[in-house]
């Protein structure tokens, strides 16, 4: 596949070849062969290797960031954060090998102990919207727990994953422990699902594809973690600082050009504050700096591909567009940040995951209606609640059906806290202190006295 710079539409040098089924099988076999030795590496030594890997990523942070600007169209500020997140995840999970504790459970007639043992080969399928962090959220805890990894980057954005795989070997990880396999989802990703030596699949992407992966894994009773779509709500009550809520709202949905499963792409505003909020939101959206993502001042870049731009544009046909921001003149897959005012909850732009720089705004009257509207979706990944009433914040947070909620903030992801969704937004949790356990079997051993 020929890779394209989303900012310019120009072809990139160095497009990798797509692996065949036979090539995928060979990589999986290599990971399987490397597993026993990696599993048996002393915990302290495995920790040291992960720290060395993190340090080398840090040394190459700017290289990785610039590569992501070219390949994915991310703003340079975002890309630096993303490369730094790989480093931080490796450092965080480097503590896990020496803390992968079992338990001693009181029983009659003997001693009972448990162990967390690695699964074997883990297959990780990474999307194109956040190629570096999502890869690390899978491989860092999986490696820490003693597994080997085969990782398929997205077809559109493989370059940083390939480079990170090279850095792993350079840092001292044995050959075959972390393997990068570029290729089509229908070939390489499907082989992760069907190959009996792959003991777990981690997939981040669309709900439609996630359901197929889950069904495929069922055939071998194979473990699976799914992080899927989202249609998150940003709930703004009238008792909040409306100016601050409006100023922050664009960054909750237009970050990464809206290509974010956590995007707060539905804004619910209490009716008494609606007009003020929308007026201030227009000012904030029109001030958003949508420019060359390589520019240090850029706040939003292009969409990842022409196809993605066309898909997002289709949602705007017939929609009630209130206002838009700006985009650069010239080539590239640009679409302006766009605000739609909605009154119909059956509209596609309100119900479906647009995955682009489009946000729909709707008024509500009271707390019960806000919760009902927020929950009226098949998704349940993230969301925000803006209010000055702590009691209301807790009540609403407990009632909204989503895995990650922020009060007076739009923060969704921290590597030291769990991340995942309700309903059709996914299955299982990533990140946080317990993530390595999700890459292990728990073994119970009873010793008779």
Catalytic (active site) residue 117 = no
Which residue among 82, 190, 227, 430 is the active-site one? Answer: 227
Pure H helices in 173-270: 190-194, 207-218, 242-253
Q: Tokens standing for 263?
A: 């995007």
Decide: 113 and 103 in contact? Cβ < 8 Å: yes
Q: Tokens standing for 291?
A: 């420019």
Q: Which of 288, 303, 225 is nearest to 258 (CA)?
A: 303
Decide: 317 and 354 in contact? Cβ < 8 Å: no
How many Å apart are CA 191 and CA 238, to the nearest integer? 51
Residues 6+ apart with CB under 8 A from 226: 203, 204, 210, 213, 214, 426, 427, 428
Residues 6+ apart with CB under 8 A from 346: none
How many Å apart are CA 199 and CA 366, to the nearest integer? 48
Catalytic (active site) residue 227 = yes
DSSP letters, 405-446, are EEESS-----TTS-B--EETTEES-BSSTTGGGGGEEEEEEE
Decide: 120 and 199 in contact? Cβ < 8 Å: yes
How many Å apart are CA 441 and CA 68, to the nearest integer? 35
Bridge partners (DSSP) of residue 339 are: 323, 359
Which residue among 89, 202, 261, 262 is the active-site one? Answer: 261
Q: How many CB atoms lie within 10 A of CB 414?
A: 13
Q: Residue 446 burial (CB < 10 Å; 0-12/13-18/19+)?
A: exposed
Burial 352-364 (b: 16+ CB within 10 A, else e): ebbbbbbbbbbbb
Decide: 232 and 379 in contact? Cβ < 8 Å: yes
- The residues carrying an active-site annotation are 227, 261
């Amino acid at each position: 596949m020929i890779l394209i710079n989303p900012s310019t539409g120009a072809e990139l040098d160095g497009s990798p070849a797509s692996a065949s089924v036979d090539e995928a099988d060979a990589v999986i076999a290599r990971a399987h062969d490397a597993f026993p030795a990696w599993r048996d590496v002393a915990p302290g030594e495995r920790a040291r290797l992960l720290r060395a890997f993190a340090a080398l990523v840090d040394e190459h942070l700017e290289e990785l960031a610039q590569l992501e600007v070219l390949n994915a169209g991310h703003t340079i500020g975002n890309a630096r954060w993303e490369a730094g997140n790989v480093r931080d995840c490796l450092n965080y999970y480097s503590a896990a090998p020496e803390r992968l504790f079992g338990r001693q459970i009181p029983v009659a007639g003997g001693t009972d102990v448990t162990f967390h043992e690695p699964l074997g080969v883990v297959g990780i399928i990474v999307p194109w919207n956040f190629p570096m962090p999502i890869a690390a959220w899978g491989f860092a805890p999986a490696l820490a727990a003693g597994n080997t990894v085969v990782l398929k980057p997205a077809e559109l954005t493989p370059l940083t994953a390939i480079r990170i795989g090279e850095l792993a070997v350079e840092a001292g990880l044995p050959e075959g422990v972390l393997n990068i396999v570029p290729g089509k989802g229908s070939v390489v990703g499907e082989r992760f699902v069907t190959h009996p030596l792959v003991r777990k699949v981690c997939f981040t992407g669309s709900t439609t594809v996630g359901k197929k992966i889950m069904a495929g894994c069922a055939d071998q009773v194979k473990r699976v973690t799914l992080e899927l779509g989202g249609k998150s709500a940003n709930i703004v009550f009238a008792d909040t600082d409306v100016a601050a809520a409006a100023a922050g709202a664009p960054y909750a949905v237009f970050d990464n050009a809206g290509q974010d499963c956590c995007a707060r792409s539905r804004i619910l505003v209490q009716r008494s504050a609606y007009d003020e909020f929308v007026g201030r939101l227009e000012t904030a959206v029109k001030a958003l700096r949508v420019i060359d993502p390589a520019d240090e001042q850029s706040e939003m870049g292009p969409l990842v591909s022409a196809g993605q731009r066309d898909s997002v544009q289709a949602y705007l046909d017939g929609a009630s567009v209130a206002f838009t921001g700006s985009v650069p003149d010239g080539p590239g897959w640009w679409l302006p940040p766009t605000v739609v005012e909605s009154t119909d909850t059956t509209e596609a732009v309100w119900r479906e995951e647009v995955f682009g720089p489009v946000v729909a705004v709707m008024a509500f009257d009271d707390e019960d209606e806000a919760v009902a509207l927020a929950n009226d979706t098949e998704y349940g990944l993230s969301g925000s609640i803006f209010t000055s009433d702590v009691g209301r914040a807790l009540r609403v947070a407990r009632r909204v059906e989503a895995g990650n909620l922020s009060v007076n903030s739009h923060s969704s992801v921290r590597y030291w806290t769990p991340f995942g969704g309700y309903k059709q937004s996914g299955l299982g949790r990533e990140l946080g202190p317990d993530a390595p356990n999700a890459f292990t079997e728990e073994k119970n051993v009873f010793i008779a006295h």
